[in-house]
Amino acid sequence: MAPKGNDMDTLEHIPFYDHHAHALYHEALWRAAPLGAYFTEAYDPVIQQRFAQDTLFFRRSMRDLGELYGCEPTAEAITDTRLRHDYAELCAELLSQANIQHLLIDDGFWPERLWSVEESRARLPLPVRRVVRIENELEKLLAHHDTSESLLSALDGILREAGQSAAGFKSIIAYRTGLDIASSSVPEQERSFERARREGGQLNEKSLLDAALLLGLRIAAELRLPVQFHTGYGDPDLDMRLANPLHLRSVIERPELADLKVVLLHCYPYVREAGYLASVYRGVHLDLGLTVPYTSVASMRGAFREALHLSPVSKVLISSDAQRTPELYWLAARWARRSLGQALRQTVEDGDLSSAESQWAAERILWHNANELYAR
Ligand SMILES: [Zn+2]
């Protein structure tokens, strides 16, 4: 893959390596889902129904989708037009219009409602690979074991096997007990395990989750697989104070993990913090998916600028974090290219990069950085 051309206005000629996304809805769910639900991370029905349509993201996206479908830029007209399409064709068409040429799917989100990795691979015109969510694998095993040691040893086996074909591992521990990961003794892990078994429901036991994560990180380091961490912005299941990537220092500094490739996903609003980490720790990379396209244009452009305050260009990535509906991949790719183009033009005006270097930076960030990081 050798991207050509030098159109900094759209960057459309550069393929997009989408290294963090989820799969598309099964068709019946897609047809039933209201358009507005795709434009907010809120669960609160009052936010969803009354306020979500007043964000800059929503207003901008209605004009984008009106342009895409050749209809009025209103939710009603867009809904009407999009539902007239053949769903499978629309999915393939929008991903190819977005010039997404490689897709990594974290299949730990809504697995019953979305296509599996195999279904995505069969239905989409591009290479699709799996990213394995460590916490989901742990939860699936929980009911089948009587001790934390037996549970963690089963997890070890599952992750090693999945790691043979996966593109990487992912952790959503920020959503559970936060990024301040700590070691614990086996008796502590056992007590944590017993509480988890007693309480049932979502696993929120810190000693057990931290032990499982540290195990996953050691396996990833051995198998030379990158590990993605959810950091920063997300839905309100998350305590965003505990999602600051600076908490990961104790993990990143472990000597046995020095060569582990860590990808800080999303980062908003902790983009400068993530850029700092990428500038001082060899394994750390940062991603701006979800920041793009869920925030204003100024914020998306600003996030690329802030990432590049300190981070080497070769450690900045962009993903769609899209899921459920094909328009989200298309919107993410459109604004990834536009806001990156705007940020890089500024680096040329400022004298940070030459025009040729800004072209190189665009190709690194949209394609080469991920393509090298996730190469097997
Ligand atoms: Zn995601």
Q: Model confidence over 322-360: pLDDT tens digits?
A: 999 999 999 999 999 999 999 999 999 999 999 999 999
- What pLDDT is recorded for position 58? 97
352 C-alpha to center of ligand 1: Å? Answer: 32
Q: What type of residue is 167?
A: A
User: Of 126, 122, 128, which is closest to residue 107 (Cα–Cα)?
Assistant: 128
CA of 188 to the centre of ligand 1 (A): 31
What is the predicted pLDDT for the residue at 201? 84
Q: What does the pLDDT read at residue 206? A: 96
Ligand 1 centre to CA of 70 (Å) is 29
Q: What is the predicted pLDDT for the residue at 8?
A: 65
> Residue 153 Cα, ligand 1 centroid: separation in angstroms?
27
Report the pLDDT value the prediction gives residue 7, as an integer from 0 to 100. Answer: 57
Residue 174 CA, ligand 1 centroid: distance in Å: 12
DSSP string, 35-103: GGGGG-----HHIIIIIGGGSHHHHHHHHHHHHHHTS-SSHHHHHHHHTTS-HHHHHHHHHHHTTEEEE
The Å distance, Cα 309 to ligand 1 centre, comes to 25
Of the candidates 362, 277, 376, 268, the residue with the CA atom closest to the CA atom of residue 317: 362
The H-or-E segment that residue 174 falls in is none
Q: How confident is the model at residue 278 (pLDDT cuts 50, 70, 90)?
A: very high
Distance 21 CA to ligand 1 centre (A): 6
Note the pLDDT tens digit of each residue in 10-46.
799 999 999 999 999 999 999 999 999 999 989 899 9
Stretch 163-176: mean pLDDT: 97
| 237 — pLDDT class (breaks 50, 70, 90) | confident
pLDDT tens profile 84-127: 999 999 999 999 999 999 999 999 999 999 999 999 999 999 99
Nearest to 307 by CA among 351, 262, 276: 276
Q: Band the pLDDT of 200: cuts 50, 70, 90.
A: confident
Closest by alpha carbon to 135, among 254, 69, 230?
230
Q: What mean pLDDT value characterizes the chain?
A: 95
Q: What is the CATH number of domain 16-132+224-373?
A: 3.20.20.140
Q: How far is the CA of 101 from the centre of ligand 1 (A)?
A: 18
The alpha carbon of 349 and the centre of ligand 1 are apart by a number of angstroms equal to 34
284 alpha carbon to ligand 1 midpoint, in Å? 18
Q: Which of 72-86, 122-136, 191-205 has the lowest mean pLDDT?
A: 191-205
Query: How far does residue 358's CA lie from ligand 1's centre (Å)?
Result: 28
Confidence of residue 5 (pLDDT cuts 50, 70, 90): very low
Using the mean position of ligand 1's atoms as its centre, give its distance from the Cα of residue 146 in Å.
32
Neighbours of ion ligand 1 (CB under 5 A): 321
0.75 cut: is pTM over it? yes
Whether pLDDT at 370 is above 70 = yes
How far does the centroid of ligand 1 lie from the alpha carbon of residue 293, in Å?
13
